[in-house]
Amino acid sequence: AAKAAGKGCFRFFAPEMHEAARERQLMESDLRVALEKGQLRVVYQPQVDASSEEVTGFEALIRWDHPEHGPVSPAVFIPLAEEIRLIDEIGEWVLRTACAEAANWPPHISVAVNLSPIQFKSPALTSTVRMVLGDTGLPAKRLELEITEGVFLSNDDHVHDMIRALKDIGIKLALDDFGTGYSSLSYLQRVPFDKIKIDRSFVNGASDPESRNAALIRAMVGLASDLKMRTIAEGVETPEELQLVRDLGCPLVQGYIFGKPMPAEEALELAKKGAATLPAQLPPREPRI
Ligand code: C2E
Ligand code: MG
Ligand code: MG
Ligand code: MG
C-alpha cells in the first residue's frame, strides 16, 4: 500500500517527521521575514596579535533572534538559507553591514566576513564586493573574505577564476576551519590565501600533554609560514591554550579568551582602545539597579 501511494504522500511518515517538516517550513518563511524586517544582526569577534595582544581585526558573525524561539544558531539557519537560495541576499546584507561598520574603525583594523560556497559560485560576487566597498568607503585591503574547503569540492576553473578576480580587487582571503574538511593540500599551493584559520577542534584541549593536537598545530603553522601565509588559531578559550599556540609560533588568535562576538558599539570601543583585555582582567560591571 505504501508503494501504491507513491511520491508526495506523507501518510506513512511518523508524526514526529510531520512535525519536523512543518517546523522547517515555518523556519524558512520566518527567515525571509527576518531579512526583510531587519531582525538579523551582525556581531564582531576580536582577532588579536598573539604576542602584543593588540586587536588586529574582527570577524563578522550573523545572529538571528527569532521572535518566538529565541536565538537560532547560524550553524542551523545558514544551511537553511543555502537550500532556499536566500544565502546570496543574506550574505550581501552581512557584507554591507560589516563593511559599513568597519569603515568607522581605526584604519589598521580589518574585518573578516564569511562566505558560503554557494555565494562563491555566483558570478555576481565580485561586482557585489566592488559595489559594497565603493558604497561604504572601506579600502579593499581591510576586507578579508573567509571561505572553507567546501569551495574546492567543485573542482572547476571557476573557483580559481573567482579567487583571482577577488584578489585583483585587493581584498584578503582566509581559509576557514582548516583541517576539518575534504583537505587536499594541493590547493594551498595553488591558492593565494593570506590567512589560514586553524579550526577550534585542534585548539581545544591541545594544551593537554596527552593530546596530539599540538603536533598538528605545529605542522599547520609551519606549512602556512613556508607558503608565506599567516595562521590564526580559532576558539582559544584558556590561558594554557593561548600559551601553547603562542609557543607553536601561531601569530594570531581568536577566541573567548579575548572576547566573545560583541555588538558593533562594543567592537568600535575595543577597536579604538587597541589592546584586547583578558576577561579576567576586566573591571567588575556596575550592578544593575
Ligand atoms: P566560523 O566562521 O568558523 O566562526 C567561528 C565560530 O566559533 C563562531 O560561531 C564563534 O562564535 C565561535 N567561537 C569563537 N571563539 C570561540 C571560543 O573560544 N569557543 C567556542 N566554543 N566557540 C568560539 P557562530 O557565530 O555560532 O558561527 C558558526 C558558524 O556559522 C561560523 O563558523 C560560520 O561558518 C557560520 N556563519 C556565521 N556567520 C556567518 C555569515 O555571516 N555568513 C556565512 N556564510 N556563515 C556564517
Ligand atoms: Mg569564519
Ligand atoms: Mg572557523
Ligand atoms: Mg567553524
Burial of 107-117, coded b for 16+ CB within 10 Å and e otherwise, reads: eebbbbbbbbb
Residue 39 sits at φ, ψ, to 5 deg, of -90, 5
Binding site membership of 82 for ligand 1 (Cβ less than 6 Å): no
Give this prediction's pTM: 0.90
CA nearest neighbour of 233 among 188, 242, 205: 242
Q: Which atom of ligand 1 is nearest to the CA of 234?
A: 15
CA of 204 to the centre of ligand 3 (A): 13
CA of 147 to the centre of ligand 2 (A): 8
Distance of CA 16 to the CA centre of its chain: 33
ipTM above 0.95, yes or no: yes
Non-local (6+) Cβ contacts of 156 within 8 A are none
Binding site membership of 89 for ligand 1 (Cβ less than 6 Å): no
Site of grid cell 521572535: 67
CA of 199 to the centre of ligand 3 (A): 6
Binding site membership of 279 for ligand 1 (Cβ less than 6 Å): no
CA atoms within 13 A on the CB side of 114: 21
Per-residue three-class SS string for 17-54:
HHHHHHHHHHHHHHHHHHHHCCCEEEEEEEEEECCCCE
Q: Which atom of ligand 1 is nearest to the CA of 61?
A: 38
pLDDT digits (tens, 9 = 90+) for 2-56: 444 445 445 555 677 778 888 888 888 999 999 999 999 999 999 999 999 999 9
Question: Is 284 a residue whose pLDDT tops 60?
Answer: no
Nearest alpha carbon, ligand 1 atom 27: 74
pLDDT digits (tens, 9 = 90+) for 69-106: 899 999 999 999 999 999 999 999 999 999 999 999 99
Q: pLDDT > 90: what percent of the chain?
A: 71
